[in-house]
Structure 1
Amino acid sequence: MQTTTPTLVPTPPEYRDPEYALHPDGTRVERLEDITRRRAAVTPDAVAVITPEATTTFLDLDLEASQVAQALLAGGVAAGDRVAYVGENAPSFLAVMYGASKMGAVPTALNFRLAGPEVAYILGNAEPAAIVLGRGMEHLVPVAQDAGVRLVVTLAGHPGTTSYDDWLADVPATDPGYSRGPDESALMFYTSGTTGHPKGIELTGPNIGKAIAAMHYLLELDTTSVALAPVPFFHVSGLGLALVAGVNGAALLLRNQTSPADLLSILQEYRVSHAVAVPTLIQFMVAQPEARTADWSALKYLIYGSSPIPEPVLREATEVFGCKFLQSYGLTESTGGVTMLSPEDHRPTPETAHRLRSVGRPMPNVPVRVVDPTTLADLPPGERGEVLIGGGHVMKRYWRNDSATAAAITDDGWLRTGDGGSFDEDGYLYLHDRLKDMIVSGGENVYPAEVESTLTGHPSIAQVAVIGVPSERWGESAYAVVVPTPGATVTEGEIIAWARERMAHFKCPVGVAFVETLPLNASGKLLKTALRSEYGA
C-alpha cells in the first residue's frame, strides 16, 4: 500500500455552495458512491485510512470498493438490494459501504453491540442480500443464515461462510459505474422506536450532501488532517465525520480505545487534528492527570453531541485541550446534526455563558421550529414545545413502515423529533424534557419501550416501567420498576442477567425496584414523572 505523504491540495475558494458539500472538482456531493471516485482521481496517494497495522490511500480504498462492487454483482446482488455490515469501525466497512454504493445496493449499518435476537429482527426486516461480519462477529453467522441471507462474508473466516480476502481474490477492480438517482435510497441505519421495534431509516445522496455541508466548510479539513471518530459507524455522527474526511481528503484514523487514558495516548501518538467524542468521554479524559501535561498543538477541533457538557467540565476541557469545540444536535432521521454551538459560543462572556446549556443555532439552510405538539402552531421564544426539522436533511422515510413515516413526517415535510425544546430571543435552541422518554447512555439512545417490551417476556414480570436515572459514568442508565407476577419470586440480579442475554448491555437496567402497582393517572396513563421523582436519584 502507498504511504507517500501527499502535497496539500486545498479546495479552491470559489468552490462553495451554501446548500451542499462539494467534491474537490467543485461538483456537489449528491451520490455516496462518488466520494472515493472523485477523491481518488484528485489525490490518489493521499492517506485515506490509518490503522495500527497499515495505511490505505484513497486509490487503494477506491480500488477495493470496486472489487467489493464486482464481488456483490457476481454473488447475485442487484441494485436496490440491502448489503448489511456488522462490526467495529474498520477499513472494510468503508470498502463495503462505497462498494455496495458503486453497484447500486443500499449499505445498511447494524449495531454490533446488539444481541442475537435483536440482529435477527433487523435482518428479517431489512432482508439484505448480503452481509459482511467484522472480526469478533462470527457468532452471528447462524443468525444471518437463519434469516435467509444469501451471501455471508466474514472478515476472519468461518465455516460455512466466505472469508473477506477470498471473496475479493481474483475479482477485478473495475468500477461498475452506477450513479444513483436523487430520490433513491443511498444509506440505511437502524434505530429503536417507541414501539419497541427497530426501524430502518432511509437516507438519500442529497440528504448526505446537504447534511455534511456545514462541517465541510467549517472544520478546516485537508490532506494534512487526521480525523478520529471513536463513535461507531452505525451512528450517523460517527460515519458523518468519516464522510466529511473523505470528501476533503483527510486521513481517517481507525483505532478503538480501551479507556479514556488510552484515547489520550492515541490522540497524541497519531497527532489527531479532528475528533468526535460523547460528553462523558470528554469528561473522563479531562480527569486524567496526563491530559494536562500533553502537547495538544495538533488538535484543532473536538466535536461532541448527544447532550450538553456541564459548564464547569467544558471550561476545564477548553483550558486543557486549547482547541475549538463544536456541539451539534440532530437525529438519524435528520441525517445527523441540524444545529451548531460554534467554537465562538464555547468562549462566552458572562452575558452569554447561558448559551453553553443550549445546542446552538440552526445550521444554514436548515429550518428548525418549536411548535405546540397538538396544533403544530409555532411558539414564541421561551415557550416549550416540540422541535420540528425541515428541509433537505429530513430522511426519505422509514423502511417498509408507512404508518411510522406518516407519524414522523407531516404532510408538508416537517420531521417531528419528539424532543421538547425552546428558542431564546437570539435563536439558540434549548432541549428540555424528551417527549419520547428516550434515555441517552454513554452517547447511545435507549428507548424505554424497547426495554419494557423485552422485560415483559420474563415469566415473573407482570408489569414494568423503565426510566432513566443519573449515572456518573454514562450520563444516564436504564432503571426498571417491576410489578412481579402474583406468587413469583425473582431477584434484581436475575432480571438484569435475563435482560443481558437478550439485549445489548447498554440498554439493560442497572437496577430494579419491586412495587405492588405502577402509578397511573385518572385516565389510566402511566405516570413516569412520579417514578422519576421517586427513583431518579
Structure 2
Amino acid sequence: MSTLAAGLETHGDGSPFVRLEDVVRRSAAHDPEGTALIEPGRRVTFAELDASSNRFARALLADGVQPGDRVCHIGENSAAFFDVLYGAGKAGAIPVPMNFRLAPPEVLHIVEDVQPRVVVLGAGMEHHGAAIAAVPGVARVVTVEPADGLTDLSTWTSEQPATDPGIARDPEDTAVMFYTSGTTGRPKGIELTGVNVSSSLACPLSLVRFDRASVALAPVPFFHVTGFGLALMANLKGSALLMINPQGPADLLRVFQEYRVSHGVLVPTVIQFMLDLPESRTGDWSALRCLMYGGAPMPESVLRDATDVFGCDFIQGYGLTESTGGVAFLAPEDHRTTPETVHRLRSVGRVRGGNELRVIDPRTGADQPPGERGEVLVRGGNIMKRYWNRPEETAAAIDADGWLHTGDGGSLDADGYLYLHDRLKDMIVSGGENVYPAEVESVLTAHPGVAQVAVIGVPSDRWGESPMAIVVRSSGPEGAALDAAAVIGWARERLAHYKCPVDVAFVDALPLNASGKLLKARLREEFAGS
C-alpha cells in the first residue's frame, strides 16, 4: 500500500489523494501537540499551525478573496509561509510562492502576470511593498515585520477566529502555482493540482521514511518545488521541520549538528562546500539518516566522499517544476554499489511513483534504444495542469498523449536508469539554480552599448556553472565606453545575482549559420572548452 494510502480519500482512478490544505488539518487532528515547525527560540505545534492558517484563511475571506484568487508569498523560509500555503488553500485560493531573490523589476513582472488579491512580504522584503500595492487588482499587501503604510500580518489575522472555513477544493483544481523562467526569458506560472501534489509525494515518502521523531531541514527555498516537497512530506508525516536559513556552509554544518537533523535536502554544490570544511570530518553525524540531492550533477568523487563523512542514506531526484518535482529517483540501495552497478552513480535513477519516461529522437519522435541520446519525456499524475494564461506554450510542452517534453537530453540504459547528457534548452545550472540564457540576454540587450549578446554557461569550481556574456558593442559612444563592469552592473540592477554574468567577452560578431541562427556550440568551444 502506498505511504499516502492509509486513511486518505481516493481520486477517481483509485489512487490515494490528500488536499494540500488537508496536510495540516490531518496532522493537527492526529498529533495536535506534536512539533510542526522549529524556529530559533520557538516551537510551533501542529494545532498552532492549523489555527494560525485558519485565521489567515478567515482574513482572506473577510477581504473578499474568492476561490481561485491568487495569494503570493515573497520571503525566506518561515512559519508565515505555511500560513499562506495552508490558509490560502483553506479559503479556496491559490498560494503562489515567489522567488525572493529576484530584483524589483522581476518581482513586479510576476505580480502583474499572476494578478494576486493579496501579497505577503516576509522579513526584509518590505521594500517591494509600495510598487506591489500599486498593481491593479492587489487588494492588500501584508508584511511579517511591521512597515509603514502596509498591513501587519499579526494584527490582520489576530482579529479573526481560529475556526476552519471548511472549504474543500476539487482534486483537479489548481492547488499551488510556482513561477519559473522559460526559455523565452519570460517567467511562466506553473499550475499544479491537488492530484499533481499527491502524486508527487507518494514515491519519495516511501524512500525517505519520515517518522514523528524526524527533524527535517530544507535550506532550499520553498519557492523551489524541491524544498516545498520536503516541507510537505515532513508536515504530512508529523515530523518537525526546522525553519532556520543557514548563512553559509559553516553555519549549515552547525545547524545540522546542533538541532540533530535527521533528514535534509541539498544541492550538490552545497554538499561539496560542506565537505571542504575540516570540521565536517570531525562532526557528530549520528542523527543524520538521509540526504536528498538534485538540481545539478553530483560528481562521483563528491558522492563517495559524502557517503564516507555523513554515513547516511542518499537519494537523488530528477524532475522539473512542471512535473511537481521528482519523477526519477536514485534510491538508497542504488547508492550501495557493486563493481557491476557502480556506473549507476552517474545516473539520476529510474522512473517511479506511477510515472512513465521515454527518451525520443527529437526529429522523428521515435523511442531511442538503450544508450542512444535524445529528449527526455515524462507522463503521469505529477504532470502540471498547464502554464498560467499560456495555452500555446502549454500545448507545446505537453503533447496530445499527455507526454511532457522536458527539453533535457538523456539516455536510458538496459535497466531503465536515466543518464542526463545535455540541456536542449541551453539552461545553465549555477549552484542548483536554473538560469535561462534568453532571459539574461533580453536584459543585456536593453543596454544602449550592447548591439548583440549571447549568454553561455562556463565551468565554475564553486557553482558548477556560471553565466558568461559574449557581447558585440554598439557603434555609438555608449558602445565605445562599454566594459565588463558596466555589463555586469547593468544585469545586477535588473536580475537576481545568480543569473548575472560573472565574466564578459567582447567580440566583433557572433557566429551565425547560413540561416542566421546563433551557433552557441561554437561559443562554448571557444569560451567554455566544451
TM-score range for the pair, normalised by the shorter chain length: over 0.9
Q: Which residue number corresponds to residue 13 of structure 2?
A: none
Higher deviation after alignment, 142-151 or 462-471: 142-151
The answer to whether residue 141 in structure 2 is matched with residue 152 in structure 1 is yes
Q: CA–CA distance in 2 between the matches of 1:248 and 1:29?
A: 14
SS in 2 for 1:212: helix
Aligned residue identity for 1:29: F
Q: CA–CA distance in 2 between the matches of 1:56 and 1:204?
A: 28
Give the superposition deviation at 1:22: 3.9
Q: Which residue number corresponds to residue 438 of structure 1?
A: 427
- Identify the match of residue 248 of structure 1 among 226, 237, 240: 237
Q: Which residue number corresponds to residue 135 of structure 1?
A: 123
Q: Is the 8 A contact 1:23 1:248 kept in 2?
A: no
The answer to whether residue 463 in structure 2 is matched with residue 471 in structure 1 is no
Give the superposition deviation at 1:30: 3.0
Q: Is the 8 A contact 1:222 1:249 kept in 2?
A: yes
Aligned residue identity for 2:4: A
Map 1:24-43 → 2, pairs under 5 A: 28-43=16-31
Question: For 1:365-390, what per-residue CA distance to the aligned partner results, in whole angstroms no more than 9, with x for missing partners?
Answer: 11011011122221111111100010
The answer to whether residue 328 in structure 2 is matched with residue 345 in structure 1 is no
- Identify the match of residue 226 of structure 1 among 182, 205, 215: 215
SS in 1 for 2:381: helix
Aligned residue identity for 1:509: P
Q: Which residue number corresponds to residue 68 of structure 2?
A: 80
- Identify the match of residue 529 of structure 1 among 477, 501, 521: 521
Question: For 1:467-516, what per-residue CA distance to the aligned partner results, in whole angstroms no more than 9, with x for missing partners?
Answer: 00111111111000000101322010011011100000000000110001
Map 1:315-334 → 2, pairs under 5 A: 315-334=304-323
TM-score (ref. length: structure 1)? 0.95
Higher deviation after alignment, 492-501 or 147-156: 147-156
Q: Which residue number corresponds to residue 188 of structure 1?
A: 177
Q: Which residue number corresponds to residue 54 of structure 2?
A: 66
Q: Is the 8 A contact 2:202 2:353 kept in 1?
A: no
The answer to whether residue 484 in structure 2 is matched with residue 492 in structure 1 is yes
Q: CA–CA distance in 1 between the matches of 2:7 and 2:432?
A: 33
Structure 1 residue runs without a partner (length 5+)? 1-15
Aligned residue identity for 1:113: R
Q: Is the 8 A contact 1:21 1:210 kept in 2?
A: no
Q: Is the 8 A contact 1:65 1:98 kept in 2?
A: yes
Q: Is the 8 A contact 1:24 1:248 kept in 2?
A: no
Q: CA–CA distance in 2 between the matches of 1:220 and 1:24?
A: 18
Q: Is the 8 A contact 1:115 1:504 kept in 2?
A: yes
The answer to whether residue 22 in structure 2 is matched with residue 21 in structure 1 is no
Give the superposition deviation at 1:364: 3.1
Q: Is the 8 A contact 2:296 2:431 kept in 1?
A: no
Q: CA–CA distance in 2 between the matches of 1:142 and 1:502?
A: 18
Q: Which residue number corresponds to residue 443 of structure 2?
A: 454
- Identify the match of residue 281 of structure 2 among 292, 302, 308: 292
Question: For 1:271-318, what per-residue CA distance to the aligned partner results, in whole angstroms no more than 9, with x for missing partners?
Answer: 000000000000111111111111111100000001231111111110
The number of aligned residues is 520
Give the superposition deviation at 1:23: 6.1
The answer to whether residue 513 in structure 2 is matched with residue 517 in structure 1 is no
Give the superposition deviation at 1:25: 6.0
Give the superposition deviation at 1:215: 1.4
Q: Is the 8 A contact 2:53 2:84 kept in 1?
A: yes
SS in 1 for 2:124: coil
Q: Is the 8 A contact 2:9 2:18 kept in 1?
A: no
Q: CA–CA distance in 2 between the matches of 1:236 and 1:406?
A: 22
Map 1:370-409 → 2, pairs under 5 A: 370-409=359-398
Aligned residue identity for 2:470: V
Q: CA–CA distance in 2 between the matches of 1:143 and 1:197?
A: 20
Q: Is the 8 A contact 2:199 2:353 kept in 1?
A: no
Q: Which residue number corresponds to residue 335 of structure 1?
A: 324
The answer to whether residue 410 in structure 2 is matched with residue 421 in structure 1 is yes
Higher deviation after alignment, 346-355 or 408-417: 346-355
Give the superposition deviation at 1:143: 2.0
Q: CA–CA distance in 2 between the matches of 1:249 and 1:279?
A: 27
Q: CA–CA distance in 1 between the matches of 2:472 and 2:175?
A: 44
SS in 1 for 2:326: strand
Q: CA–CA distance in 1 between the matches of 2:419 and 2:42?
A: 43
Q: CA–CA distance in 2 between the matches of 1:21 and 1:121?
A: 37
Q: Which residue number corresponds to residue 306 of structure 1?
A: 295
Aligned residue identity for 1:126: V
Structure 2 residue runs without a partner (length 5+)? 11-15
SS in 2 for 1:313: helix
Q: CA–CA distance in 2 between the matches of 1:354 and 1:137?
A: 45
Q: CA–CA distance in 1 between the matches of 2:9 and 2:128?
A: 42
Q: Is the 8 A contact 2:9 2:17 kept in 1?
A: no
Q: Which residue number corresponds to residue 227 of structure 2?
A: 238
Q: CA–CA distance in 2 between the matches of 1:21 and 1:194?
A: 35
Q: Is the 8 A contact 2:182 2:436 kept in 1?
A: yes
Q: Is the 8 A contact 2:371 2:413 kept in 1?
A: yes
Q: CA–CA distance in 2 between the matches of 1:92 and 1:198?
A: 24
